[in-house]
């Protein structure tokens, strides 16, 4: 009696394909919340998240690992018309976000969202968000991203 072993092959994407996926599927978020335990009174967090099928998320994860970017994968349940499992991939460490954003070339995109994200990551990585001026700039970037302003200053 022979046994068959079925192995799943996890696809990986090249750098150009990965850049396209990041530009089209990744959403970058900026959270600023009141936190009285902090010196400035606010807590900031920048992260990115992408959703998809298990195979898609695993392929992105494997491709990002080739560039030294490690993420958290999780399963979330999508209730609605489809009732299927949706997987998510989250990157929240600022040094990994810096690596991810450095993969993407300087190209024009909608509402200068990419440039605003670069600036926000730069502010947090340089610890400028711990000053009142830096926090105000981060709040302005968050508003510009939320409302889709085209003017980048």
Q: How much is the pLDDT for 118?
A: 92
Name the residue with tokens 């440039």.
115
Q: How confident is the model at residue 30 (pLDDT cuts 50, 70, 90)?
A: very high
Residues 6+ apart with CB under 8 A from 94: 46, 121, 124, 125
**Does the predicted model carry a pTM greater than 0.85?**
no
pLDDT in tens, 66-78: 888 888 877 665 5
């Amino acid at each position: 009696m022979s046994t068959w072993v079925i192995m799943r092959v996890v696809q990986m994407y090249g750098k150009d394909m990965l850049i396209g996926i990041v530009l089209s599927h990744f959403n970058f978020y900026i959270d600023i919340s009141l936190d009285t335990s902090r010196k400035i009174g606010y807590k900031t967090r920048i992260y990115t998240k992408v959703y998809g099928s298990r195979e898609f998320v695993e392929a992105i994860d494997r491709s990002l690992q080739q560039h030294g970017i490690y993420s958290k994968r999780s399963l979330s349940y999508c209730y609605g018309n489809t009732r299927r499992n949706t997987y998510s991939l989250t990157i929240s460490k600022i040094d990994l976000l810096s690596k991810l954003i450095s993969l993407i070339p300087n190209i024009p995109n909608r509402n200068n969202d990419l440039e605003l994200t670069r600036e926000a990551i730069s502010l947090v990585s340089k610890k400028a968000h711990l000053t009142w001026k830096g926090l105000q700039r981060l709040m302005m970037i968050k508003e510009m991203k939320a409302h889709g302003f085209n003017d980048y200053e």
